[in-house]
């Protein structure tokens, strides 16, 4: 039996915290699909194709990972990919409340779907994509918060 899990997010951009969760996830599952959401409503800083490329670069040496873009309900995406588990990260208490609601909503749409939550390691607990975007907008240093290949890619596309 193949255990397929989905780690969804906008990954705008991918952070060291995301990679922390991905690396621990591949130890538990046969395949981890990194589902990069289009998320037009969030007005991402980076284009979908760039977010996918950054994730592919960041996970190139991590086995059992597949990077896919999606623009559907997560519950439907999970059915299409024969996945029964969603992976989510919890950094702070406010994350828990939101993620609990989303987990219940997804389960109500797909009764075979369950959510597993990972806490990032302590050194990555404060990192979020929104913090990275804010620092980037003010030309601050982010190289220690994101994978080196992602930092290099961002420098390249910023011009």
State the catalytic residue, choosing from 18, 31, 51, 52: 18
Catalytic residue list contains 91: yes
Q: By CB neighbour count within 10 A (0-12 exposed, 13-18 middle, 19+ buried), where does 95 fall?
A: middle
Task: Report how far residue 143's alpha carbon sits from residue 127's, in angstroms, rounded to the nearest whole number.
Answer: 12
Q: Compute CA 60 distance to the chain's CA centroid, rounded to the nearest angstrom.
A: 15
Judged by DSSP in three states, 7 sits in strand
State the catalytic residue, choosing from 24, 79, 91, 133: 91
Judged by DSSP in three states, 20 sits in helix
Catalytic residue list contains 129: yes
State the catalytic residue, choosing from 23, 42, 49, 123: 42
Closest CA to 59 of 83, 93, 25: 25
Q: 107 CB contacts (<8 Å, ≥6 apart)?
A: 113, 114, 115
Closest CA to 83 of 24, 37, 35, 39: 35
Task: Report how far residue 6's alpha carbon sits from residue 78's, in angstroms, rounded to the nearest whole number.
Answer: 7
- Looking at the annotation, which residues are catalytic? 18, 42, 91, 129
């Amino acid at each position: 039996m193949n255990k397929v899990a989905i780690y969804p997010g906008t990954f705008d951009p991918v952070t060291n915290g995301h990679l922390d969760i991905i690396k621990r996830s591949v130890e538990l599952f046969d395949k981890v699909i990194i589902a990069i959401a289009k998320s037009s409503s969030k007005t991402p800083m980076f284009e979908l194709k760039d977010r996918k490329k950054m994730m592919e670069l960041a996970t190139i040496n991590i086995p059992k990972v597949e990077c896919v873009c999606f623009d559907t309900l997560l519950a439907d995406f999970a059915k299409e990919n024969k996945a029964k588990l969603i992976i989510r990260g919890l950094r702070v208490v406010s994350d828990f409340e939101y993620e609990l609601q989303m987990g219940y909503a997804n389960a109500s749409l797909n009764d075979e779907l369950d959510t597993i939550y990972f806490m990032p390691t302590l050194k990555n607990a404060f990192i979020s994509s929104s913090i990275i975007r804010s620092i980037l907008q003010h030309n601050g240093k982010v190289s220690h918060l994101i994978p080196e290949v992602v930092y290099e890619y961002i420098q390249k596309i910023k011009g």
